[in-house]
Amino acid sequence: MLRSNYPPGSVRWATRRAQWRALGLTDEDMLKPKIAVVNSSSDLAICFSHLDEVAARVKEGIRAAGGLPFEVRTTAPSDFIHSAGHGGGYILSARDLIVNDIEVGVEGAQLDGMVCLASCDKTAPAQLMAAGRLDVPTLLLACGYQPSGRYRGEHCDIEDVFLHACGTPGETLTGELTEMSEDAVRGPGVCAGMGTANSMHIVAEALGMALPGSTPVAANSPAMWREADRAAERIVAMVHEGLRPRTILTGAAFRNAARVALSVGASINTIKHLQAVAAEAEVDVDVTALYGDLGASTPLLSAVRPNGPHTIEQFDAAGGARAVMARLGDLLELDAPTATGRSVGDNLADAPGAAETPGTADDPGTAGDPDVIRPADRPFSHDPLILVLRGSLTPLGGIVKLSVDAVRPDTFTGPARTFESQEDALAALAAGAIGAGDVVVLRGLGPRGRPGMGMASQIVFALDRAGLTGQVAVVTDGQLSGLVNRGIVVGEVRPEAADAGPLALVRDGDTIHVDLPDRGCELRVPADELERRRAEPLPVREHGEVGWLSVYRRTVRSLDEGAVLRPR
């Protein structure tokens, strides 16, 4: 018996029937599997603008497959829009708000399953977290990347606009930015490139929670609509089969997801999001450690912008996540279960192989393109693009993201220049108070310190435009863009300053040493001096937040726990 059905004559049955009959549903409809179509639609951002049409198509497919669809709405955060308020605090915090939106809609109504329309950065991780928490049959449907434009004859997307806008403070770029922003985005969908959104869509497939061959995909393309139809049909079958997320979200699934993320040079944000999914699904796994442990043995099979020369369109045409997984082969745990009801190995049995003709920068090539997605014995690199550094300054880890053509020193030692906000750091740079050899320490931006986790990327790219890449290092507990970062940038330091992590003990002039080959990040200050500093008040700003952010600050856990919400 479906959990959504109640005994005829009962109070619940009678009141539901009265409500649903008024919606035009028949008694026969009310006996069908009731499927939530989780829709984060919004007019505020182009990434969500097509989701109402996708939801309508999925609902139509669910009806055709013998189910009864109900659309469930959630908040819809866009990094480029919603980061304007409270120093970006509404971005990461909105992830957990979405989880609770889904819980209210699906668990409150006791629906039988859900198809989640994954779009911008925080929707996919939130939907996976909700799947793990509620443990009802769930599929993620990636709703696609946006088409990019051109700027003065060169490829141009929203991330190029962002990077160009992060110039040295005071630099006049208005004319160029106006021209770039006219054509950077030509339609709906998520940011092009291997940023957080496309990374998380690929991770969902690697976990087994999205159908094989469905990621990435161009928004509103024939392929996207086919995947919408496939998901609609499959979710009804999953309900009848009783195939639940916690059957799929095993330790093996997380190891596969980390392996795939490393092989495509995914956004570093995948680490905290996967940890959060594991927390909600009650899987005992340390995702940060996985990235560190698996990095050395995972070949880099693709180099999609900004990691390298290829576009997301080329990666898609070359076979996408499924082709990557096929080429990883035995490096994956092939017996891991998936949403198809089959194992990873079974799903990959007929995956695309190497194409005869490799693609070029102007021609994406054909499925299985061995230049865009390389064989494991001919990778772009044997070294990982995501490094986990541990040391006296980062005892629980700090994350470094590189690119295949990164030009930066392997080690860096210098005096600390401490800042409690990105605005202060930018002002110091503009005033010439940050110079070659310095280590910029930007703190108080972690999940609890901001609260909600503030962005630290602008100072990184401002340093780049000031010609200081490789000459100045950055260490921060803030969130970095899903883009690659310039020079030596250690982000998402754990514990954060607001949790009395060592970052809070750094003072101007302290020596900091970063060693990428040895995966170390050290604060070279005597132990007795650090002990003395621990008795001093923490250098954390109070932002005077109320409402949602005040709830978030009181309940958010540390990044090594995925920054999920739990009573403290």
Strands 511-515 and 520-524: antiparallel
Rounded to whole angstroms, how far apart are CA atoms 378 and 85?
Answer: 45
What are residue 304's phi and psi, to 5 degrees?
-85, 145
Rounded to whole angstroms, how far apart are CA atoms 450 and 485?
Answer: 21
- Cis upstream peptide for 169 (omega within 30°): no
Q: Please, what is the angle between helix 269-281 and helix 287-295, to 10°?
A: 130
3-state class of 96 per DSSP?
helix
Strand partners, 150: 155
Sign of CA dihedral 442, 447, 448, 451: positive
Start-to-end CA distance of the chain, whole Å, equals: 38
Tokens found for residue 389: 């550094």
Rounded to whole angstroms, how far apart are CA atoms 359 and 354?
Answer: 11
What kind and span of H or E run contains 331?
A: none
Q: Please, what is the angle between helix 320-328 and helix 251-264, to 10°?
A: 110
Alpha helices (H) along 269-311: 269-281, 287-295
Annotation says 78 is catalytic: no
From residue 15, give the alpha-carbon distance in Å to each of 31, 103, 263, 406.
Answer: 15, 21, 52, 62
Rounded to whole angstroms, how far apart are CA atoms 203 and 273?
Answer: 10
- Say which of 148, 302, 481, 558 is annotated catalytic: 481
Pick the closest to residue 538 from 443, 415, 399, 451 (CA basis): 443
Q: Please, what is the angle between helix 89-102 and helix 269-281, to 10°?
A: 30
- Do residues 425 and 459 lie in contact, with contact meaning Cβ atoms separated by under 8 Å? yes
- Do residues 288 and 396 lie in contact, with contact meaning Cβ atoms separated by under 8 Å? yes
Specify the DSSP class assigned to residue 511. Answer: E
What kind and span of H or E run contains 439?
A: strand 439-442
Pick the closest to residue 197 from 302, 113, 278, 76 (CA basis): 76
From residue 13, give the alpha-carbon distance in Å to each of 6, 451, 509.
Answer: 5, 43, 69
- DSSP of 528-553: HHHHHHHTSPP--------THHHHHH
- Do residues 217 and 248 lie in contact, with contact meaning Cβ atoms separated by under 8 Å? no
Go through the chain and tell me how many residues it has: 568
Q: Which residues are catalytic?
A: 481
